[in-house]
Amino acid sequence: RRLVRPLASFVRHNMTKACVVNAGRLDFDGKIDFCMLELVCGTPVTKHEHHSPTPSEIAQFAQGHTTLVTKEVPIDVTLLPDSITLICEAGTGYNNIDLTEATKRGITVCNVPAYSTDAVAQLVMTQVLNFSCSMHLQIHANANGDQTLFHGSNPFKSFGQLAHFELGGKTIGLIGGSGTIGLKTGKLARAFGMNVLVWSRSAKDCGDGKYKAASDLKELLNNSDFVSIHCPLNTATAGLLNKQTLGWMKPTAFLINTARGAVIDEDDLIAVLKNKTIAGAAMDVQHPEPPTVSSPLFELNNVIVTPHIGWKRVETRQRLVNAVAENVRAFLAGAPVNVVNS
């Protein structure tokens, strides 16, 4: 593989001793190929099989290494050894790393801004389609041997109780949907004949009619049959969907969250679902994650909950690891990319 690569890469003088602190999360099925990362680093990469090491464990793992590769675990930057010059978050969200602290210590922090675009957009459409034909309720019934829809006294009438509609002409509202994942989701939704409404600080009406910009959150929520969240988690977006704003949604509408759990006030959401203020919710992210053992999210009838699978497809993770390798290569070449601190 080294011989096959262009000659220029041989001239590289820099190497880096890298440590993947939680390969047990990134490569939970052992199917990911780390060779690009190994090649770029120029020396073997240390991999720890943990999925959620503590900040002090991470600091220990970091001893003797110059690059840290981490996925979705809190890092205490103050504990890291001086040898660390680069932290690669293997993912898009980096809210688990104190950037100010990293900058103070001269540590570059990179993320991978777009690797799960298709995967997440597909997941959103999966749940849109599931809600449109109540497939989750049917799978649930079948799982428990409930054959009412097949052999009940009137299977047709029983089926009539379930939501079942075509997507053509329905509206999906994308909150913060002008980023890559939002745009891809909008594109897929249009393939099904849906109308796309977007609310985002940077949204403008798309001239060729591909989507309409809502003037505010209320307008989006009032008019959408499906509401999907596509914004990062920050002080402006935490708890954006709460009792008041959820009340602006149609009672027949469904909420989908593949972004970050805390964008929704979860207690308010649970109350709203119990009251049937909205028709249902699909949550790939929760707050906390995973939900506690006693969380009502597991019990509510019209909730589809998944264990943050948006990034977990095998191709998605491979693309992610290769992108991390590319971030390392660019850093070593003196022209870092995807830097999130300055």
Partner 1 sequence: PRSMLARRLARPLTTLARHVMTKAVVVNAGRLDFDGKLDFSRLHEACGAPVTRHDDHTPSPETIAAYAVGHATLVTKEVPVDVNALPDSVRLICEAGTGFNNINLEDARKRGITVCNVPAYSTDAVAQLVMTYVLNFSASQHLQQTKLARGDRSLFHGDEVNGTSAFEAFGTLPHFELAGKTIGLIGGTGAIGAATARLARAFGMDVLVWSRSAKDCESGTWRAARDLKHLLSESDFVSVHCPLTEHTKGLIDEHALATMKRTAFLINTARGALVNETHLIDALESKTIAGAGLDVTDPEPPLEGSPLYRLDNVVLTPHIGWKRLETRQRLMDAVAANVEAYLAGKPVNVVS
Indicate if 164 belongs to the active site: no
Nearer to partner 1, 44 or 193 (CB): 193
**Does residue number 313 form part of the binding site for partner 1 (CB under 8 A)?**
yes
**Does residue number 123 form part of the binding site for partner 1 (CB under 8 A)?**
yes
The residue within the footprint of partner 1, chosen from 100, 144, 235, 342 (CB under 8 A), is 144
**Does residue number 157 form part of the binding site for partner 1 (CB under 8 A)?**
yes
Q: How far is CA 74 from the centre of its chain?
A: 17
Q: Could you tell me which residues come within 8 angstroms of residue 47 by beta carbon, excluding any fewer than 6 positions away?
A: 19, 20, 23, 27, 34
Part of the chain binding partner 1 (CB under 8 A), chosen from 58-66, 191-199, 243-251, 261-269: 191-199
**Does residue number 322 form part of the binding site for partner 1 (CB under 8 A)?**
no
- Print the binding letters for residues 12-51 with partner 1: x by CB under 8 A, - otherwise: ------------xx--xxx--------------------x
Q: Could you tell me which residues come within 8 angstroms of residue 121 by beta carbon, excluding any fewer than 6 positions away?
A: 181, 184, 185, 187, 188
**Does residue number 6 form part of the binding site for partner 1 (CB under 8 A)?**
no
The residue within the footprint of partner 1, chosen from 4, 7, 11, 293 (CB under 8 A), is 293
Catalytic residue (one of 25, 136, 230, 260) = 260
Return the amino acid letter for 157: K
> Closest approach of Cβ 192 to partner 1, in Å?
7
Nearest to 14 by CA among 50, 37, 51, 40: 40
The residue within the footprint of partner 1, chosen from 93, 96, 114, 192 (CB under 8 A), is 192
Part of the chain binding partner 1 (CB under 8 A), chosen from 88-96, 145-153, 171-179, 198-206: 145-153
Indicate if 289 belongs to the active site: yes
Part of the chain binding partner 1 (CB under 8 A), chosen from 61-69, 149-157, 213-221, 330-338: 149-157
Beta-carbon-side half-sphere exposure of residue 177 (alpha carbons within 13 Å):
35
**Does residue number 95 form part of the binding site for partner 1 (CB under 8 A)?**
no
The count of chain residues that interact with partner 1, using the rule CB under 8 A, is: 60
Indicate if 260 belongs to the active site: yes
Nearer to partner 1, 311 or 331 (CB): 311
**Does residue number 60 form part of the binding site for partner 1 (CB under 8 A)?**
no
**Does residue number 135 form part of the binding site for partner 1 (CB under 8 A)?**
yes
As annotated, the active-site residues are: 260, 289, 308
